[in-house]
Amino acid sequence: MAAPSQHKLTVEIHRTGGPVRYEIPLRDNQTVLDAVTEVQRRFAPDLAYRFACRVGVCGSCAMSVNGIPRWTCRTHVAKVVVDGAISVAPLRNLPVIKDLVCDMASFFEKWTDAEHGAGAVFDGKATRHDPLPAIDPESPRRKAVDAGIECINCAVCYAACDVVAWDQGYLGPAALNRAWTLANDDRAANADAVKAKAQGVGGCGSCHSHGACVAACPVGLNPTQSIAGLKRRSLFELLRGSGS
Amino acid sequence: MSERLLFAVQRVTALILAPLVLIHLGLILWAVEGGLTAAEILSRTQGALGWAMFYGVFVLAASAHGAIGLRNILVEWAALGRPLAGRISMAMAAVLLVLGLRGVWAVIA
Amino acid sequence: MSQGRKTIGYWAAIGHRLSGLALVLFLPLHFLVLGTAMGGAESMDPWLALADLPLVKIAEWGLVVLLTLHLLFGLRVLILEFLPWSGLRHGWVWGGVAASLAVGAVFIGQVV
């Protein structure tokens, strides 16, 4: 473990029963995930929280740190500590199961469910017996897909989004970003259906371009831009009379 | 009206309103100098087909644009369901349309 | 836990929304005053005379500033959504505020 300094770190954790303050040593190279783990091991064995890879590739450790949703394994305490304290809470916009653990079901449903969500799950047109489709990696459509495809569904953007907080029916930045990648995927059999969901009730029209998702995304994705693409296509296809 | 259509109307009316608002602002800034009298206004507008069309389009676009914007606020901030928010917004659009066209008529005729 | 710092885009959206709300609530009054012209200049003038009241002048200044703000923040939204992507165009937010205050200043110059 990293060497402790002279200083203490107050970790305020918004647990199920209310906020609780713990005191641990302030260490060099300490991440917020390190701090939460130290609290759990030394003071609160019943503290519930999630993590997996702890190296910033899985997105499981997403929590609210000082009011901002982020990956706690990628957040150095030194960068966010204010007057020797940090505040950790579960992600916003998701029901809390216990302490720092949220129920991700509604987030996944908005992304994958064809009836209640965007239905943004890839459905292929071809079988293994068909020739490979020729997709030009430099084509504008493929570039649009590539720009959004790295999403690992960590829900940080969803927690950052104020419209999600205001309107439970809003599909949210991750689902709509995914829908945009499918709408541009020439191999997807359900591209039009996904696009229609993403442009309907709770879809792209509810995005007001706050850009909180862009500021928050740990992978550097741009849901606002993807959603703008959906809006553009929605208007132009409506005016042209094409598209469902 | 579908969500898609409402979005389209909102953006298209915005595009229509942009130049109209610019002209209207310019006119206001020019006309208010030295005070405003009814005679001054009416001497510009009475019998003027150009202004009738300008403000007629303005009222139509503003009624739709304002009502759809209001609908978003009712859904997102007043937590009204879409059906109720839609009805209130429609009522607002009707009020704006009727009062607006009446106002245009009043200064043109 | 209260949400942490808001983006500039958030404030632009709030400003756009609140200015729009103020305008849409004001419009029926505006249309009613215009409607008084039905009775000729004599019926309209008493209403226009209200514009001489300092409180009304301040309110009108507010409306002119809010209208300009709503227009410029709205143009930013249209640009974000329909022109090729080039960032969140924060310059338009600050420019919008500055231009609105400038227009407000011109208005004051004209009515005072």
Minimal CA separation from A127 to chain C, in Å: 36
B35 confidence band (pLDDT: 50, 70, 90): confident
Question: Please, are residues A197 and A205 in contact by the beta-carbon 8 Å criterion?
Answer: no
- In C, which residues are within 8 Å of B39 by CB distance? 41, 45
The residue of chain C nearest to residue B102, with distances taken between CA atoms, is C35
**Per-residue model confidence as pLDDT tens digits over A90-136:** 999 999 999 999 999 999 999 999 889 999 999 998 999 999 999 99
- In B, which residues are within 8 Å of A200 by CB distance? 2-4
Rounded mean pLDDT, C17-33: 97
Q: Is C68 on the interface with B (CB under 8 A)?
A: yes
Tokens of A6: 């002279």
Q: What is the mean pLDDT of chain A?
A: 95
Q: Do C80 and A212 touch (CB under 8 A)?
A: no
Rounded mean pLDDT, C52-71: 93
Distance of CA C110 to the CA centre of its chain: 17
pLDDT of residue C52: 84
Q: Is C53 on the interface with B (CB under 8 A)?
A: no
Nearest to B4 among A167, A206, A234 (CB): A234
Q: What is the distance in angstroms between the CA of the first residue and the CA of the last residue of chain C?
A: 48
> Does pLDDT of A152 surpass 60?
yes
The residue of chain C nearest to residue A87, with distances taken between CA atoms, is C1
Q: Do A206 and B76 touch (CB under 8 A)?
A: yes
Q: Do B3 and A167 touch (CB under 8 A)?
A: no
For chain C, state the CA radius of gyration.
Answer: 18
Please report, rounded to a whole number, the percentage of residues in chain A having pLDDT higher than 90.
92
> Does pLDDT of C77 surpass 70?
yes
Q: Is C81 on the interface with A (CB under 8 A)?
A: yes
Question: Please, are residues A88 and A39 in contact by the beta-carbon 8 Å criterion?
Answer: no
The residue of chain B nearest to residue C100, with distances taken between CA atoms, is B25
Q: Is C5 on the interface with A (CB under 8 A)?
A: yes
The residue of chain B nearest to residue A167, with distances taken between CA atoms, is B76
pLDDT of residue A186: 92
Please report, rounded to a whole number, the percentage of residues in chain A having pLDDT higher than 70.
97
What is the H or E stretch that residue A136 is in? none
State whether residue B98 is helix, strand or coil: helix
> Does pLDDT of A1 surpass 70?
no
Distance of CA B108 to the CA centre of its chain: 17
Minimal CA separation from A39 to chain B, in Å: 38
Weakest mean pLDDT among A29-43, A205-219, B28-42: B28-42
Return the half-sphere exposure (C-beta side, CA atoms, 13 A cut-off) of residue A87.
Answer: 13
The residue of chain B nearest to residue C71, with distances taken between CA atoms, is B18
CA-CA-CA-CA torsion for B38, B41, B47, B52, nearest 10 degrees? -120
pLDDT of residue A5: 62
Q: Do B69 and C24 touch (CB under 8 A)?
A: yes
pLDDT of residue C4: 75
Rounded mean pLDDT, A9-16: 98
pLDDT of residue B1: 83
pLDDT of residue A23: 97
Q: What is the mean pLDDT of chain B?
A: 95
**Per-residue model confidence as pLDDT tens digits over B51-103:** 999 999 999 999 999 999 999 999 999 999 999 999 999 999 999 999 999 99
pLDDT of residue A241: 85
Chains that touch B (3 or more CB pairs under 8 A): A, C
pLDDT of residue B32: 87
Strands (DSSP E) found in chain A: 4-15, 18-27, 62-65, 68-71, 85-89, 96-98, 101-102
Q: Do A167 and B75 touch (CB under 8 A)?
A: yes
> Does pLDDT of A243 surpass 60?
no
Tokens of A195: 């696009």
**Per-residue model confidence as pLDDT tens digits over A160-191:** 999 999 999 999 999 999 999 999 999 999 99
Q: Is B84 on the interface with A (CB under 8 A)?
A: no
Q: What Cα–Cα distance (Å) separates residue A126 from each residue in A122, C60, C71?
A: 12, 63, 48
Which residue bears the tokens 């150095």? A76
- In A, which residues are within 8 Å of C12 by CB distance? 209
